[in-house]
């Protein structure tokens, strides 16, 4: 085994396991925050956990490939070593492709929980669908495009393929481009979503900035798309695809961090011993009113019954948004006047907006 590991193999192992461990730490912190502090978990939490569960076997498969000679020039490997390394690498790439789609979907679902603008929602749905479909077909075609499938990692083996290596490389580049565009959208859209919400300006900037880590994932996606041209390099596949593997794992790791960091605010505040529920920005749409009792006006001598919800707990901070799976509904100031014979007119006003709890 020692004579197989060499070249860039040790670098691949060190970088990928470091990224996998870092991603695991953040995912565990997210799950602790959502389950133990907020006491609520959603599909975005499940998907980001699933993404890590795909990153780990991706790293394990590429480690196995490195131990078989991945990272060394093909000319220095025997045919058996080359086949074993390439097979493990391709299996690992399948986990990565699905993991990238799941991580983008997690970020999109997180944003869907806090957006109230219809066209924002349509963009997020489109991003999820487009990336998921393209990644699914890319992962599928890696194993069904040739008969026998072993031709994929052993090119000299005679086979009948309905997709050539060049066409598959083009499909993979399409996946890389779609992933890069998705990263750009998911990194810029939070600014538009959060900016007009009733939150402290500092919190808006912190949350949006943390989600802008997606720009780093986008940069990795660009380099990954460029590296995908190496899929055609069958003569030195074990060496030329090292960049593709490392950029892919880095993109997946950064997307996991992008999806996780904004949810850690309650944990950060708990460690500091402070509450994130407090002052809020009076501008823009709000979330809840301070008076929790609804006004119920019963009919009296021809008056109609009127009911208006005046709100709930004073959860006006970002913690309330991040812990709920709500649609935020904006309302205008409401003034209700009622009365009946022999009584003075009474009025009560609600001055802020409130969300509908859909959890």
**Is the domain defined by 8-264 classed in CATH 1.20.1070?**
yes
Q: What is the pLDDT of residue 58?
A: 96
User: What per-residue confidence (pLDDT) applies to 234?
Assistant: 65
Q: What is the CA radius of gyration of the chain?
A: 26
The pLDDT of residue 189 is 87
What are the domain boundaries of the chain? 8-264
Q: Tell me the average pLDDT across 48-67.
A: 95
Is residue 260 within 8 Å of residue 22, measured between CB atoms?
no
pLDDT of 59 above 50: yes
pLDDT of residue 336: 44
Q: Is the pLDDT of residue 276 over 70?
A: no
Kindly state the percentage of the chain with pLDDT values over 70.
72
Residue 46 pLDDT = 93
- Looking at mean pLDDT, say which of 15-29, 100-114, 190-204 comes out highest: 15-29
The single-letter DSSP state of residue 299 is: -
| Residue-averaged pLDDT of the chain | 77
Cα 125 to chain centroid distance, Å, stands at 13
Question: What is the helix (H) or strand (E) element at residue 92, kind and residue range?
Answer: helix 79-112
Mean pLDDT to the nearest integer, 257-269: 85
306 backbone dihedrals φ, ψ, rounded to 5°: -130, 135
3-state helix, strand, coil in the chain (%, to 5): 65, 5, 30
* % the chain with pLDDT above 90: 31
Q: Which residues contact 22 (CB under 8 A, 6 or more apart)?
A: 253, 257
Identify whether the C-beta of residue 346 lies closer than 8 Å to the C-beta of residue 339: yes
219 has pLDDT over 70: yes
Out of 34-48, 114-128, 175-189, 315-329, least confident range? 315-329
The length of the chain in residues reads: 359
pLDDT band per the 50, 70, 90 thresholds, residue 232: low
């Amino acid at each position: 085994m020692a004579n197989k590991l060499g070249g860039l193999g040790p670098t691949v192992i060190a970088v990928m396991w470091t990224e996998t461990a870092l991603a695991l730490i953040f995912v565990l912190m997210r799950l602790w925050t959502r389950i133990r502090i907020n006491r609520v978990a959603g599909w975005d939490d499940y998907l980001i956990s699933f993404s890590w569960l795909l990153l780990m076997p991706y790293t394990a498969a590429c480690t196995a490939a490195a131990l078989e000679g991945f990272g060394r020039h093909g000319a220095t490997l025997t045919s058996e070593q080359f086949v074993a390394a390439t097979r493990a690498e391709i299996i690992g790439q399948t986990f990565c492709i699905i993991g990238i789609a799941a991580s983008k979907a997690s970020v999109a679902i997180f944003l869907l929980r806090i957006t109230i603008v219809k066209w924002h929602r349509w963009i997020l749905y489109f991003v999820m669908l487009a990336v998921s479909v393209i990644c699914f077909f890319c992962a599928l075609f890696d194993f069904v495009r040739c008969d026998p499938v072993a031709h994929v990692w052993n090119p000299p083996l005679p086979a009948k393929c309905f997709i050539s290596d060049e066409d598959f490389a083009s499909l993979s580049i399409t996946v890389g481009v779609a992933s890069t565009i998705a990263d750009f959208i998911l990194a810029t859209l939070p600014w538009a979503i959060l900016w007009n919400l009733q939150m402290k300006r500092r919190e808006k900037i912190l949350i949006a900035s943390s989600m802008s880590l997606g720009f780093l994932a986008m940069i990795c996606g660009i380099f990954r798309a460029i590296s995908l041209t190496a899929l055609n390099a069958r003569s030195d596949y074990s060496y030329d695809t090292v960049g593709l593997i490392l950029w892919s794992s880095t993109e997946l790791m950064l997307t996991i961090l992008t999806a996780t960091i904004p949810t850690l605010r309650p944990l950060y505040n708990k460690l500091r011993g402070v509450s994130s529920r407090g002052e809020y920005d009076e501008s823009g749409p709000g979330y809840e009113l301070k008076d929790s009792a609804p006004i119920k006006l019963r009919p009296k001598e021809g008056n109609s019954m009127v009911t208006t919800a005046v709100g709930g707990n004073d959860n006006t901070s970002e913690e309330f948004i991040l812990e709920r799976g709500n649609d935020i509904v904006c309302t205008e100031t409401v003034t209700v006047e009622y009365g009946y014979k022999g009584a003075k007119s009474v009025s009560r006003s609600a001055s802020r907006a409130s969300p509908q709890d859909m959890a």
